[in-house]
Structure 1
Amino acid sequence: MKVLLVAKAPVAGQVKTRLGAEVGAGRAAELAAAALLDTIEACREAGMEGHLSLSGDLAGAVRGEALAAALDGWTITAQRGDSFAERLVHAHDDAGHGVVVQIGMDTPHVTAEALTAAAAGLADHDAVLGPADDGGWWALARRDPDVVRHVAEVEMSTADTYADTRRALERAGCRVGSTGAMTDVDTVEDADRVAELAPHTRFARLWRSTARGGTL
């Protein structure tokens, strides 16, 4: 099994821009770096081979050295494509065939169990989607990277992205399963909820220190 992590290098002003509008671009980048480290740790605990599809450069990013160390042994490829959906298609091509669970860096509370559950759904389905509370999705598991080509027609980051992605895959003849829902961290309210759900994470610890520092 392989995990495909699609992420941006945590550089101020380039990640978590909605959250950054509320807490500041620098702190948002710090939170993104913590979330990415938490996600990488969950992937390692799941025992999956790691593949990072990266936008940007870790050199000069917040906690760049720590991230590079955490990614030791991973395959890292650069994202390419004009739209996010196109970048997803190329990322899956790079990851190749076999059981792949694709996730992002917006769910620092993800667990090894959640990742393996998404992969297990492929026993009866061609693809498995994990819904996000905002109408998007946090995970896409598949065996054949070609099924993801149908996702390129879907508009991302809307309240209907999960439903539209599922319909696109079903129109292509895929049997689509689902796995547990999660919260993407985009706003202060999201961050509060995720920090409560997973208080032990780097993200939660940093978020609590942000609140104590009076930044919110």
Structure 2
Amino acid sequence: MEIQTSKALSDVQQFRYELLQWCGNVEDAEKANTFVMGKDEKPVQAQLPKSGIEDGIYLVHADGKATLFELEYAKDDNMDSEVVAIGLKMGSFGIKIALHDEANGDDITLTTKSNSDLKADKYYYIDNYDDAVADMDGARNTNHLRNILNPKIKLADEWYIPSLGELYRIFINKKAINAALEFAKGERLRDRWYWTSTEYSATDAWSLYLCDGTGNWLTKASDAFRVRAVSAFIF
């Protein structure tokens, strides 16, 4: 049997393609793959190197590089470049976390006033908890709030207030993130209420209690909580 090759196929794909041609059907080709690899070996595809960087907590340096944070780093202060943020990678999700809370860690209102109640604004409001937890677009949300944000929130370019879904992912990794923040001489995330940019209505926004993960909506122009800025983590 003549084996056809294609430059578009990887080495592993070509190997499996050849097996399929020789065997004539998928079931026999899978058995042949198991035989070639050995009974206790993983399938060929499972042995391929992972693409991108692995999940975990990262030290993001001033030169743009990111180093996977491990506890032993706490014993070595000789870093090549200043750490300017903490990175979090979870599957396709990635985010950078600022080293300090806004407004020197004070509890502050999210905005100076309510949004308008125009029909166009209602597109941004999420009054269902399950939908709010699924909100992963803090950058869009923050842009909607920028004209009325509390001036004590001084966001640098490309930095924004996390959505409820983004802040939840930070919360479930809080222990490791706080260890990295301490190493980088930043400020730990506190067991306090933090604002998110996910709006409940023209007057209210969702917040998250970073002690037990409770989410609630409160008045953004009068209630006062902490704010921790984030940015996209490119990997």
Shorter-chain-normalised TM-score: which range? Answer: under 0.3
Structure number with larger C-alpha Rg? 2
Q: What TM-score, normalized to structure 2?
A: 0.22
Q: Structure 1 length normalisation: TM-score?
A: 0.23
Name whichever structure is richer in helix by fraction: 1
